[in-house]
Amino acid sequence: MAESPQQPSEDQAPRNLDALAASEADGVVDALDRHRVKILAAIAVAALVICGALVAGQLKKQKHLDASEAFTTAATQGDLAALDAVLLEYPGSVPAGNALLSKAELQVDQGKSQDAQATLERFVKEFPSHPRYPQGLFALANLSHVAGDTAAAKDYYEKTIAAQPDGELTPLARIRLGDLALENGDSSLADQLYQESFTLHPGNPFFDFAQEKLALLKVGNPPEVERPAPEPEPAAETPAPAAKPADAAPASAPTTEVKPAPAPAPETKPAPAPEAKPEAAPAPESKPKAAPAPEAKPDTAPSPEAKPEAKPEAKPEAKPEAKPE
């Protein structure tokens, strides 16, 4: 009967494993010794690659910071030339795309709609992966809508929704599409698009705007009332003919004569009536004849005063004095 092969005992198994491990370790050490130069070279190359990547990343980051700073300064100043400089110095960067959008906005503010459209078309073409790419599409749609190009406006609004299905401008793009449908007379489609702006995008900031659109859509267009005819302007009054110099002279004469009329009154009030009474005493002597006039000559003092006063006052004073006699 043949003998069965002998199985290794439990003590022999660990010994074999230790021997195998020792032999493999010796082989690894020998391999390291043989390829030491290659291994060190690979480590050095890897270190250089890592360092280069870090340096390149830092340089790229610094360049991005410089580009962002240049764009911020140019946009704050509203300088088109400075925005163009950002495009030249940092082509293809995010700040360069922002510079194009800001440039288009400035051109719209200046009334240069065609230049703004060309700037936006350049942005859409050169920066398809820009974070603000949907904004450029929506701006193009809005410009086309205002210009009356409804086909282009509809195309750009739909591209805005496709570029960012749940973006911040997507609800507004749906509302604008509803406006286009309403302008074309399709009120049912307009109603659908208005409702989709908040049913597909709940909580968006354009909810109240969409509700106003729906309310106006239900009311419909109010009946047009003819404008009343404008009232005729009152006829201009013809000015009175200017007075001739000959006619104006008599009109002004009474005014000039009436006003100074009371002026002599204060001069006559202090008339020397009381002084004339004692001087009029010789009047009875003059009644029989005018001869006593030479007898009054010796009175030299009153004679000079009587002469100027007797001329205006002799007639009114002689009558009241003659009555008592």
CATH superfamily of domain region 132-218: Tetratricopeptide repeat domain (1.25.40.10)
pLDDT, one tens digit per residue, over 220-271 is 665 566 777 777 777 666 666 665 555 444 444 444 444 454 555 445 454 4
List pLDDT tens digits, range 191-207. 999 999 999 999 999 99
Whole-model pTM over 0.85: no
Q: How far apart are CA 248 and CA 135, in angstroms?
A: 80
Q: Can you tell me the mean pLDDT for 29-53? A: 76
Contact residues for 210 (Cβ-Cβ < 8 A; gap 6+)? 171, 175, 194, 195, 197, 198
Let me know: does 213 contact 175? Beta carbons within 8 Å: yes
Among the listed residues 60, 121, 143, the one whose alpha carbon sits nearest the alpha carbon of residue 95: 60
Angle of helix 170-183 versus helix 187-199 axis, rounded to 10: 170
**Of 42-56, 66-80, 124-138, 163-177, which gets the smallest average pLDDT?**
42-56
As given in the structure block, the two tokens for residue 316 are: 């009114």
Residue 268: what are its φ and ψ, rounded to 5°?
Answer: -85, -20
* Domain positions in the chain: 132-218
Q: Which residues contact 301 (CB under 8 A, 6 or more apart)?
A: none
